[in-house]
Structure 1
Amino acid sequence: MTAPTPAPAPAPDQNALARLGTAVRARLGAMPGIYRVPDERIELYAIGGFLAGEECGRLCAMIDQVAKPSALHELDYASGFRTSFSSDLDFHDPFVAAISARIDAVLGVPKSFGEPIQGQRYLPGQEFKPHNDWFYTSESYWPGEEQRGGQRSWTTMAYLNPVEAGGATAFTLLGINIAPTPGVLLLWNNALPNGRPNEATLHAGTPVEAGAKYIITKWYRTRRWR
């Protein structure tokens, strides 16, 4: 008789990710006006008109004031992997804090779990190549991220302006391409229902072909962000 295959060891924060996934899934499922993308491989939702036009314009102006070349852990801007401009928005600003609180309220995740809202600007030719938002726990940056709040659970992203051409959000393993629509809030679970990282969340900000693309992003951890 063949010995049973041992169960894989729990991934870091797996239980916390599973609990958060269950809670947020139930909350979003009961929320009117929210759309779930019909693909069982990913928990991906959208809310139209989450931000008003005036709010979008104000956020774009704030991003222009603070944007600087984006980086990604060990990769700098010159690598070409992420060529947008980005910066955390001032979470003490009452306007930014109010937007952040509205996103918190959608998910029902504790405010303390959320990272600051990050603003991002893409000009023609700029992109963010396929990547996951969850952290690779085998990498050298993980101990620091573990101390800062642990694994990323949910991602939220709002589009702020019409883009003349290009700039879609592409979930590259799923064939899902979402065109930027001002005011729309996207939300997705970076984990599977069992709390392990979901490889299907691999996504890209495709190159802007004409005009500019502005977005805000807010990520949530499994515990208090520091």
Structure 2
Amino acid sequence: MDEVLRFSPALGDWVLSNLRQGCSPAQVAAAMRAQHMPADAARVIVDCEALIAMARPRLRPSTTVDPLTGRDRAGEHRSSLGMFFRLRENALVARLDDRVSELMNLPVENGEGLQVLHYPAGARSAPHFDFLVPSNAANQASLERSGQRVSTLVSYLNDVAEGGETVFPDSGWSVSPQRGSAVYFEYCNSLGQLDRASLHAGAPVLRGEKWVATKWMRQRRFVAAR
């Protein structure tokens, strides 16, 4: 069985304090390696804390795509806060965009901007699809510009004390959030057929908080609405 590494909130506070004082992520990771922390673990912690710190001031109430109408909806369906980075917005985001592109096996330009979501205690997201419902007129312009969403990668940026699982109700499968891990799923094949078994939800955060970074890939180069 693989060992699960968990880190105390105090370590996260130390990383964040150094980043706020102007230390670069590379400098903080180097300091952690000097204390005999594995290099990969140090990089994961620093990248996660840096991404959270950059996202926090830009958070706004989140929306989801209604599985029946394809329209955005807010309120009780998703009680998180979220924001989007522009593609390759800065050095860290560019490095993450490149890495995610490699993992998802699609060009960087096919990706929508990296989204960061924050779920405080009690927050959740109701069951929803990530693909755009083709029959809904509200989605037509986006589908014409960039094609359908084909896959999702949800990366967990922190350890959650309790709850916050990503749940796939039709398959009975769930994934517990652990910092540095991720869940990947596809829902559109080369014929444009959509997999409704990709319906998923975020279980309520029972203790602590949850931070995730989500990347959606399109069939072709993503062109944002103007």
| Match in the other structure for 1:66 | 58
Query: Out of 49, 55, 62, which is 2:47 matched to?
Result: 55
Q: Displacement of 1:75 after TM fit? A: 4.0
* Distance 1:148-1:205 versus aligned 2 partners, 3 A rule: farther
- Structure 2 distance, partners of 1:193, 1:70, is 30
What per-residue deviation string (whole Å, max 9, x for no partner) do you get for residues 105-145 of structure 1?
12221121110100000011211111111111111222122
> Between the two proteins, what is the percent identity of the paired residues?
30
What per-residue deviation string (whole Å, max 9, x for no partner) do you get for residues 141-172 of structure 1?
22122133111011111000011111000011
Higher deviation after alignment, 189-198 or 212-221: 189-198
Secondary structure of the residue aligned to 1:52 is: helix
Query: Out of 73, 83, 86, which is 2:79 matched to?
Result: 83
Query: Is residue 121 from structure 1 mapped to residue 118 from structure 2 by the alignment?
Result: yes
- Structure 2 distance, partners of 1:194, 1:172, is 25
Q: Displacement of 1:194 after TM fit? A: 5.4
Query: Out of 148, 151, 156, which is 2:148 matched to?
Result: 151
Secondary structure of the residue aligned to 1:136 is: coil
Secondary structure of the residue aligned to 2:184 is: strand
Amino acid corresponding to residue 130 of structure 1 in structure 2: P
Query: Is residue 176 from structure 1 mapped to residue 173 from structure 2 by the alignment?
Result: yes
What per-residue deviation string (whole Å, max 9, x for no partner) do you get for residues 57-111 of structure 1?
1112122121110123534433x11111001024321111111110101222112
- Structure 1 distance, partners of 2:145, 2:123, is 29
- Structure 1 distance, partners of 2:192, 2:137, is 22
| Match in the other structure for 1:162 | 159
Q: TM-score, normalization: structure 1?
A: 0.73
* Distance 1:148-1:208 versus aligned 2 partners, 3 A rule: farther
Query: Is residue 110 from structure 1 mapped to residue 107 from structure 2 by the alignment?
Result: yes
Aligned-residue RMSD, C-alpha: 1.9
Gaps of 5+ in 2: 1-39, 66-70
Amino acid corresponding to residue 82 of structure 2 in structure 1: S
Secondary structure of the residue aligned to 1:141 is: helix
Contact 1:63 1:121 in 2 (8 A): no
Query: Out of 202, 205, 210, which is 1:205 matched to?
Result: 202
- Structure 2 distance, partners of 1:130, 1:212, is 20
Gaps of 5+ in 1: 1-47
Secondary structure of the residue aligned to 2:137 is: coil
Contact 2:110 2:218 in 1 (8 A): yes
Query: Is residue 214 from structure 1 mapped to residue 211 from structure 2 by the alignment?
Result: yes
Q: TM-score, normalization: structure 2?
A: 0.73
- Structure 2 distance, partners of 1:52, 1:137, is 37
- Structure 1 distance, partners of 2:166, 2:101, is 22
